[in-house]
Amino acid sequence: MPRKIIFDTDPGQDDAVAILTALASPDELEVLGIVAVAGNVGLDLTTRNALQVVELAGRPDVPVFAGCDRPTKRRSITGAHVHGEGGLNGPDLPPPTMRLQQKHGVDFLIDTLAAAEPGSITLCTLGPLTNVATALARAPDIVRRAGSIVMMAGAYFEVGNITPAAEFNIYFDPEAADLVFRSGIPIVMHSLDVSHRILTTPERLTRFAGLGNRCGKAVAEMLNFSQTFDLAKYEWEGAPLHDPCVTAWLLQPDLFGSRDVNVTIETNSDLTLGMTVVDFWQITDRPRNVTFSHAVNAEGFYDLLAEKLSRLP
Ligand code: RIB
Ligand code: CA
């Protein structure tokens, strides 16, 4: 039986690769729906981008919903400096033809979890945690029926990418992240500590471009665009690839090394707002609320992505 999942996402080229890899794996993953959230760019664009990605994969059967258009408490920030003004810059994708669902994405999360067997649905978050936190605030007992949250967020050794102390998905809405990390829902967290070890080298992007299908070509064009900022910033042989860690873990968890730790979110200090304070060495007796990935097999990760993406149109 495939694992039932819901994506919560702010596409974002790396979000797109995570979603495409999942849509290429129908025997392992049943994507019940995709909920867009404001993050890398505004909700109008992340929603459009999500529709484009689903159609690129030839899967208009997967419903797309619009969620929250701003953080729960603070002003929005943007990731357009990395992802482009449209959020999915790179390929020239046609405007979406499939319709956006009318139901609000937060209502979809609540209603779907309410109707499902407890523990049977995995929430896969690729962006800020605003939608999940809003659902938790509105219907905590229902949302706690989620089996787990598998997320790309935060960091320990790599610390921050949008500030010296914070990773973008957390920093966009720290209060939402705090609510989610305190919810008691089991969390599997893939952070900058792994995404900084799986770089989009020229050989890897050439491999995607050479898959012989439209999705491989589009993925290469997406990542060729989104890597520009990080190549200049880090001066590495490639750029970090963040969100597909979520899908890769679902498909092949042995690609990752992890440990159960406490992760607590900084929501007060101006200097370290949005920091994921990871008790990696288990110094405190804080509850171990997170399975934290700290190692990854990069070659195996890219082999998995190439194999899956090759199955798409
Ligand atoms: O910090 C990386 C995260 O921020 C990724 O999810 C990327 O898509 C952006 O949302
Ligand atoms: Ca994202």
Residues flanking ligand 1, CB < 6 Å: 10, 12, 14-15, 39-40, 79, 126-127, 152, 161, 167-169, 242-243
Residues annotated as catalytic (active site), given as ranges:
242
Q: Which atom of ligand 1 is nearest to the CA of 243?
A: 6
- What confidence tier does 41 reach under pLDDT thresholds 50, 70, 90? very high
d(CA 118, CA 4): 12
Quote the CA–CA distance of 18 and 251 in Å, as a whole number.
Answer: 11
Ion ligand 2 — residues with CB < 5 Å: 10, 12, 15, 126-127, 243
pLDDT tens-digit series, residues 274-310: 999 999 999 999 999 999 999 999 999 999 999 999 9
DSSP state for residue 240 in the 8-state scheme: B
CA of 253 to the centre of ligand 1 (A): 21
Q: What is the mean pLDDT of residues 175-190?
A: 98
Q: Which atom of ligand 1 is nearest to the CA of 15?
A: 8
Q: Which residue in the block uniquely carries the two structure tokens 């012989």?
A: 212
How far apart CA 198 and CA 173 sit, in angstroms, is 26
Q: How confident is the model at residue 202 (pLDDT cuts 50, 70, 90)?
A: very high
pLDDT at 279: 98
DSSP-based three-state secondary structure for 112: helix
> Whose atoms come closest to the Cα of 195: which ligand?
1
Q: In the prediction, which pLDDT does 165 show?
A: 98
Residue 38 CA to ligand 2 center (angstroms) comes to 10
3-state secondary structure 290-311: EEEEEEECHHHHHHHHHHHHCC
Percent of the chain exceeding pLDDT 90 equals: 100
Handedness of CA 37, 42, 154, 31 (dihedral sign): positive
Q: Which residues are within 8 A (CB) of 224 and not within 5 positions of it... i.e. 6 or more apart?
A: 90, 205
Measured by CA distance, the residue closest to atom 1 of ligand 1 is 168
Q: What is the distance between the alpha carbons of residues 110 and 134, in angstroms, rounded to a whole number? A: 10
Tell me what the mean pLDDT of segment 126-135 comes to.
Answer: 98
Give, in order, the Cα–Cα distances in Å from 92 to each of 52, 57, 195, 296.
11, 15, 26, 32
**Packing angle, helices 298-309 and 244-251, rounded to 10:** 90
Cross-strand partners of 263 = 278
Place of tokens 């003004």: 85
For ligand 2, the distance from its centroid to the CA atom of residue 28, given in whole angstroms, is: 22
Within 8 A by CB and 6+ apart from 226, the residues are 13, 14, 82, 83, 84, 89, 90, 239
What are the percentages of helix, strand and coil residues in the chain, rounded to 5?
Answer: 40, 15, 45
Amino acid code (one letter) for 76: S
> How much is the pLDDT for 171?
98
CATH of the domain at 274: 3.90.245.10
Query: What count of Cα atoms within 13 Å lies in the side-chain half-sphere of residue 283?
Result: 6
Amino acid making up residue 14: D
- Identify which ligand lies nearest to the alpha carbon of 8: 2
Q: According to the model, what pLDDT value does residue 241 have?
A: 98
Atom of ligand 1 nearest to the CA of 12: 8
Using the mean position of ligand 2's atoms as its centre, give its distance from the Cα of residue 128 in Å.
Answer: 8
Of 14, 43, 46, which is best to mutate to test ligand 1, by the most ligand atoms within 8 angstroms of its C-beta?
A: 14
For residue 242, what pLDDT band results from cuts at 50, 70 and 90?
very high
Nearest Cα residue to 84 out of 36, 19, 40, 128: 40
Residue 206, number of CB atoms within 10 A of its CB: 10
State the distance from the centre of ligand 2 to the C-alpha of 285, rounded, in angstroms.
Answer: 31
Segments forming the whole domain that contains residue 28: 3-309
Task: List, for residues 140-157, the tens digit of each pLDDT value.
Answer: 999 999 999 999 999 999
Q: Which residues, 6+ apart, have CB-to-CB distance to 288 below 8 Å?
A: 260, 261, 262, 282
pLDDT tens for 94-122 read 999 999 999 999 999 999 999 999 999 99
Ligand 1 atom closest to the Cα of residue 10 is: 10
Residue 270: pLDDT band by 50, 70, 90 thresholds?
Answer: very high
Domain count, the chain: 1
What confidence score (pLDDT) does residue 109 get?
98
When the pLDDT of each residue in the chain is averaged and rounded to a whole number, the result is 98
What's the gap between Cα 267 and its chain centre?
21
